[in-house]
Chains A and B, each alone.
Chain A
Amino acid sequence: MAGPMSSMNRLRWPAWLSTGVLACSIDLPAPPANEEDEPSESTETSAEPQSLGVIPLRRLTRAQFTRTAFDLFGEAMPVDLEFAAMLPVDDQDGGFAANSTAINETTLSQYERVAELIADHVAPRRGQLQACLADPLPNTACAASFVDAFGPRALRRPLTTDEREALATMMWTSPPATADDADLGVRRVIATLLESPDFLYRIERGEAEDEAPDTVRLTGHEIAARMSYLVWGSMPDPLLTADAAAGRLHDPGFRATVLQRMLEQPAAREGLAMMHRQWLSVDALGYFVKDRNLYPNFTEALGPDFDDELTEFVDRVVRRHDGTLHSLLTANVTVGSPAVEFWYGQDVVARRPWAELPHATSELTLDAEHRAGVLTLLSVMAAHAKPDRSDPVNRGVLVRERLLCQPLAAPPPNVAIPPDAPVPGSSLREQLLQHTADPACAACHALIDPVGLAFEHYDAMGGFRTHDAAGNPIDAKGTVPDSDIVGSIDDAVGLAHALAGSEQVERCYATQWFRYAIGRIDDAQDDAMLTSLQLGFRDSGGHIPTLLRLIVGSDAFIHRRRE
């Protein structure tokens, strides 16, 4: 699987996106007709999972921290301020970054530097944070006003009286003598809040008054944060916070309505992308590198373009099309820049302008015989390839681990990888036959290679080809042993359709969202919850917004296990 971690160096957060200036409010298509929309009972049954199990204390990921900071400071944050790479590296957790390792002196230093950097840039723009701060010399009361408005947003919960006083005092107790002094006061408070554990960690302690023996019910604000990080990858917005304060989020039916609203917000686009990028292990697209001898038109700028294509594709399927896993795996319509169009080459059979984004993107209809779903997107194929050739083993492992949820063992120790030097002119398929010849390799590779080789039509850039570099015609036939997909498949398009029809894949996708939500791999304690989600997902016809609703609407979602 691709090694490098989340690509943050090229994050661009255009102000219009995070502040919703273009406010593309999307009407989500209604869920499939066989759905029942009655609010669930709040009484717990013994079969009903009571909590999401033990969730280790985790820090915000780089992506979450960045999005949260931009949402928190809005116009006061310079659009081009880059700090994601200064944050501690995300823990790579076998799928979704969860950051449950402890802070040490080095990583603490990193957090302090980022907090100070942001504070340095935001404080002079304080007029954008609070109206009374626009005055070069604000009055005393302005400190309290700012703290009252900003503090709860930064800490994602209401402040206590002591905290309000402490922060206001820290800012100033008498009117600042100069504008610089005022900046410094604001800076102090901002840096303190950004270094606060309440900001850095996803705190979920629950309601102190809850007397239940095994579980603790989360506070409204904690539920709001769980929802916003799941759907948006960022902090709650004012509406969600208001719902939390009013105690409305404890009602599952209400949460379902809120989820609908959340999915219609622009922020959901990036939130969905954050999950899918990690799910498909393409979060290193920011710096993928290809062999310029073979691909003279390759540039590093392609990474963000390919990443955007993935984001748009997912967004289109989940929020504008029918929202089903089936479409995610088989749709042949994508959205891309001219560069993306160039790399698809002949596969583009129709195009029309895509007006939703203010740059020159088009909606591209791709040849349905060559492209089907998210797996054959340029981004996914290119991310799962070497700089100079395809990578059937990597692609096979991707399908096994992320679509079938079948983890594979590591290669045996002391095995020669790659095996003997390839015979010149042989196809990759022939070279990989070594795997089946050697019993040390066969056990796992019999599961990996027939799947990965189905993607042989897609070269290192993800472009479609009929022959490989040595002139051999591509043979993309494959099978998926040890799964509910029987029979042979002709190629990746066939594989995509087979995966779309697989119950195993459907269950696995639900599992992946669950893992993403809880920040760890599922284990025995999660069986009841997972089964319930998988059944509900199946009953909805694989409707992704419904899956999210099942997660968010569950009783388990608003509890944690008492320790």
Chain B
Amino acid sequence: MSSRRQFLRTLGLGAAAAPWIPLLPSHAGADGSPRRLLIVHFAHGVALDRWRPQGNASAWSLGESLAPLQPFADRLVQLEGLVNAVGRAQIGDVHNIALGTLLTATALATDQGAGGHYLPGGPSIDRRIAERLAASAGRTAPLYRALHFGVRTQGFALSAEDRNLPLRADDDPAAAYARVFGELALDPDQREALTVARGEARDWARRRIDALSKDLGVEDREKLERHRAAIDVLEARALVDRPLPSSCVMPSPPPVIDAASHPANADVPALVDATNGLVAAALACDLTRVVTLQWGSSGNDGLRHTWQGIDADYHSVAHLANGEDQVAHEQFAASNRWYVERFAALVAALDAVDEGDGTLLDHTTCVLLSGLSVVHDLSNLPVVIVGGGLEGNRWLQHDGESLTGLWLALAGHLGAGDIETFGDPEYDQGPLAGLV
């Protein structure tokens, strides 16, 4: 089946290498295939001259850094000029703010400064959309409302359940695989035994939470309630008996990489590829319809693109680029392009999945962006959207509109249009016009 081979190839895995078995979902439902959202974030912005489109509005082409996305140009929208207005108004560590307010459009609740984790100010858009989609899908809602993957994120969270509730990415593809896919491969008897065994521990924990809550203050009680709610979610998920799409074949486990959450620089590409595979599989198998993928952490974290022959810190290179340091600028452009190549591979993998009424890519709005543009600038953020049924071949030049508008517009496009407001109202100008 050519689309299987294509799926593998586009993930960068040759026929010999692939323990991964491609996944084909079942036919589209009566309403057509469900809509999905994928948000991919890379840190520290871009070498602007290579990122920007070439030419003018009527005749333009992708900048050098985005050239890997050329095959998808007819399904691609590039946006300029959007501002993280909420982040710009907050004082604190810019890297933390850039990452922590990007999807929440709300000022951070706390910022511990460089090296310290921040706490989000409100829910992130991916969670809001996921909630709405799950509510409207009802009994056909996927097992996971949303999944949050990342590579080397070091606990700096892109997503948030709510204020003070960060949703940190799972940096270890082997662990994420075990959690999300591993148990699906069990036969019914094994799964039942596991559920029963877990049930006892969970029942005990719930009883203990109920007993402890009586004597605790409001905030502590809330924490335990969330713990209890988490138990309920895990249990409900285990009880779901809905079969997966009939052609959904479980992938083999990804390669185990040493110290996955604090990898050697040389291991980063393998982690990125392995995580890409999980993202594609999770979407194709309809385990979730909302995914965030976070490449890198917040600030000056020591990451070096040694696999590209770049010895300097990625963060330092990002700061020196777009200025007089030509060497740094070239290195940064090369780094940007590397991330775009990985994004393009993921996009291609989604496109290789035929859903009957289009490909998985046609049904997945894939957003690639960074929370900074140049150095510590929170304006003119680099944003590219591919797929999802949006009209492609567009270069949208905005002029300082708040990023909140992008999230509202996408919410509408995904069928969660009853999300009419989002984040800090002061910077909520309504859905961005002209996108969907």
- B-contacting residues of A (Cβ < 8 Å)? 1-5, 7, 9, 54, 56-57, 85-86, 88-94, 100-110, 112-113, 115, 166, 170, 187-188, 191-192, 195-198, 203, 205-206, 208, 281, 286-287, 289, 291, 293, 300, 386-388, 407, 409-411, 413-418, 420-421, 563
Q: Report whether B376 and A287 are in contact in the complex, using a CB–CB cutoff of 8 Å.
A: no
Q: Report whether A415 and B376 are in contact in the complex, using a CB–CB cutoff of 8 Å.
A: yes
CB distance from B250 to the nearest CB of A (A): 18
In angstroms, Cα B299 to Cα A90, docked, is 18
Question: Please, which residues of chain A bring their CB within 8 A of the CB of B330?
Answer: none
Q: Report whether B201 and A89 are in contact in the complex, using a CB–CB cutoff of 8 Å.
A: no
In angstroms, Cα B376 to Cα A106, docked, is 31
Question: Please, which residues of chain B bring their CB within 8 A of the CB of A300?
Answer: 264
In angstroms, Cα B175 to Cα A86, docked, is 8
A57-B216, A85-B261 given; 8 more Cβ-contact pairs under 8 Å: A85-B262, A100-B223, A101-B164, A102-B226, A106-B168, A107-B230, A108-B231, A289-B302
In angstroms, Cα B166 to Cα A102, docked, is 9
Q: Report whether B165 and A192 are in contact in the complex, using a CB–CB cutoff of 8 Å.
A: no
Q: Report whether A105 and B234 are in contact in the complex, using a CB–CB cutoff of 8 Å.
A: yes
CB distance from B63 to the nearest CB of A (A): 23
Question: Please, which residues of chain B bring their CB within 8 A of the CB of A407?
Answer: 113
Q: Report whether B116 and A4 are in contact in the complex, using a CB–CB cutoff of 8 Å.
A: no
The reply on B117 being an interface residue by CB < 8 A is yes
In angstroms, Cα B201 to Cα A391, docked, is 49
CB distance from B186 to the nearest CB of A (A): 14
Q: Report whether B113 and A203 are in contact in the complex, using a CB–CB cutoff of 8 Å.
A: no
Q: Report whether A410 and B113 are in contact in the complex, using a CB–CB cutoff of 8 Å.
A: yes
Stretch at the interface among B204-212, B287-295, B335-343, B404-412: B204-212
A97 nearest CB neighbor, chain B only? B117
- Select B200's contact among A5, A54, A86, A170, beta carbons within 8 Å: A170
Stretch at the interface among B29-37, B275-283, B316-324, B354-362: B316-324
Digitize B221-234: 1 where CB-to-A-CB distance is under 8 Å, 0 elsewhere: 01110110011011
Stretch at the interface among B15-23, B88-96, B131-139: B88-96
Beyond A387-B304, A414-B376, whether A115 also contacts B230 by CB under 8 A is no
Question: Please, which residues of chain B bring their CB within 8 A of the CB of A386?
Answer: 313
Q: Report whether A9 and B262 are in contact in the complex, using a CB–CB cutoff of 8 Å.
A: yes
- Give 14 CB contacts A-B under 8 Å: A1-B114, A1-B116, A57-B223, A85-B259, A102-B164, A102-B222, A103-B227, A195-B204, A281-B115, A289-B265, A407-B113, A413-B378, A417-B319, A421-B325
In angstroms, Cα B226 to Cα A197, docked, is 12
The reply on B218 being an interface residue by CB < 8 A is yes
In angstroms, Cα B198 to Cα A375, docked, is 48
Question: Please, which residues of chain B bring their CB within 8 A of the CB of A413?
Answer: 88, 91, 94, 376, 378
CB distance from B230 to the nearest CB of A (A): 4
The reply on B215 being an interface residue by CB < 8 A is yes
In angstroms, Cα B148 to Cα A196, docked, is 26
Q: Report whether A57 and B167 are in contact in the complex, using a CB–CB cutoff of 8 Å.
A: no
In angstroms, Cα B377 to Cα A417, docked, is 12
The reply on B49 being an interface residue by CB < 8 A is no
Interface centre among B179, B224, B234, B259 (most CB of A within 10 A): B259
In angstroms, Cα B378 to Cα A166, docked, is 56
Q: Report whether B220 and A56 are in contact in the complex, using a CB–CB cutoff of 8 Å.
A: yes
In angstroms, Cα B303 to Cα A387, docked, is 11
Q: Report whether B154 and A563 are in contact in the complex, using a CB–CB cutoff of 8 Å.
A: no
Q: Report whether B164 and A418 are in contact in the complex, using a CB–CB cutoff of 8 Å.
A: no
In angstroms, Cα B231 to Cα A105, docked, is 7
The reply on B170 being an interface residue by CB < 8 A is yes
Question: Please, which residues of chain A bring their CB within 8 A of the CB of B166?
Answer: 101
A100 nearest CB neighbor, chain B only? B223
Q: Report whether B201 and A191 are in contact in the complex, using a CB–CB cutoff of 8 Å.
A: yes
Q: Report whether A416 and B218 are in contact in the complex, using a CB–CB cutoff of 8 Å.
A: no
Interface centre among A109, A291, A418 (most CB of B within 10 A): A109
Question: Please, which residues of chain B bring their CB within 8 A of the CB of A7?
Answer: 262
